[in-house]
Amino acid sequence: MTTTAETLKPLLWEPNNLVRAIEAAGVTLWSWNVDTDALAMNDPAYDLWGIPRGIDVSFEDLSAHIHPADRDRVRAAFNATRAIIGPYEIDFRIMIGEELKWISARGQGDDAGMVSRVMFGIFIDVTGRKQAEEGRELLAGEMSHRVKNLLAIASGLTAITSRSTKTTTDMARELTLRLTALGRAHDLVRPVPGQSEKASSLLGDLLTVLLAPYDDLGAFSGRIRVSVPRMSVGYAATTVLALVVHELATNSLKYGALSVDTGTLDVSCSAHDEAVTIVWTEAGGPKVEPPLGKGGYGSRLVERSVTGQLRGSIHYDWPESGLVVKMKVAPERLAQ
């Protein structure tokens, strides 16, 4: 009597079913004639590369889709595969119109498995994995930068407090107040479990809380002034604004107006239908000189956050009297 397992065995080993398993896994197939440069691919591979199915292709045809920054590397790597002992894997970017994808090409080197001068391998779309890796690298870099910033902030707040107090007791009390205010500012922009996506705060309240730790509580009280119209800021914009404010305030503590007793900071805002403009103006600090080069990680992080997440713009002016920063954001983005 034939068992169920015996009945299903031919079905399990049916070649077409194994091909279906490959397609289900997102694996596409290729073969390459190392002498003529001709390529053959299955239909999913044509789709992956954005090439009409069934046409004759060569490696040079595929090269036209490879990102220019990766093209020479990929060509050299494929030419070198025959010298590689064992399996190889090459990751690179391709462009399909305006869309960027990450492709992983895998095969066997050292002429292993070659038939009549033809090598075999697979392409896999690894865009999701690469984006996750880039996200983790960006997060690690941002966390490292923020930790360094927090240390610089603590050092700067200690210096400010020492200028406005006469005893160690007063200094300890005021420094504790500043660090507590810094914690409140952090809580303001930290996600709250169960918080609605539409949660918002007022722009003036947000800026006041974020800048409170940097203002002097003693003789120099009030040298930070915030003057903005009444408007709401959504959670996503709140996070970006907090990053910008902490970056600018940290730099001011190190080099700008907040690094000396006589320095002042004004934050103002004008709102029009097409844009909200926030202006950060420092005065009374050390003589200002434009930075050399492209700026540090913090500056790039701020620019990427403003232009990317808020679809806005940020511009720096460096008059001798003090740094002036102008940030423009569409009202609908500020409300998100």
- What CATH code is carried by the domain that includes residue 55? 3.30.450.20
In sequence order, which residues have a C-beta less than 8 Å from that of residue 202 and are 6 or more positions away? 230, 231, 232, 233
What local confidence, expressed as pLDDT, does residue 219 receive?
41
In sequence order, which residues have a C-beta less than 8 Å from that of residue 209 and are 6 or more positions away? 181, 184, 185, 188
In the listed set 125, 155, 172, which residue is the last one of a domain according to the structure? 125
pLDDT in tens, 130-189: 888 877 877 777 677 666 666 666 776 676 667 656 788 877 776 776 666 666 655 665
Same domain, 19 and 61: yes
Same domain, 293 and 245: yes
What local confidence, expressed as pLDDT, does residue 220 receive?
45
The CATH number covering residue 199 comes to 3.30.565.10
What local confidence, expressed as pLDDT, does residue 325 receive?
93
Task: Copy the structure tokens of residue 48.
Answer: 């992956």
> For the chain, which ranges sit under pLDDT 50?
1, 192, 195-196, 217-220
What local confidence, expressed as pLDDT, does residue 218 receive?
44
Task: Copy the structure tokens of residue 257.
Answer: 């107006």
Same domain, 79 and 151: no
Note the pTM of the prediction, 2 decimals: 0.50
Distance, in Å, from the CA atom of 301 to the CA atom of 138, rounded to the nearest integer, reads 10
Same domain, 65 and 184: no
Q: What's the domain range around 183?
A: 130-334
Phi and psi at 220, nearest 5°, equal: -105, 20
Q: 27-33 and 200-202 as β-strands: parallel, antiparallel, unpaired?
A: unpaired
Same domain, 162 and 219: yes
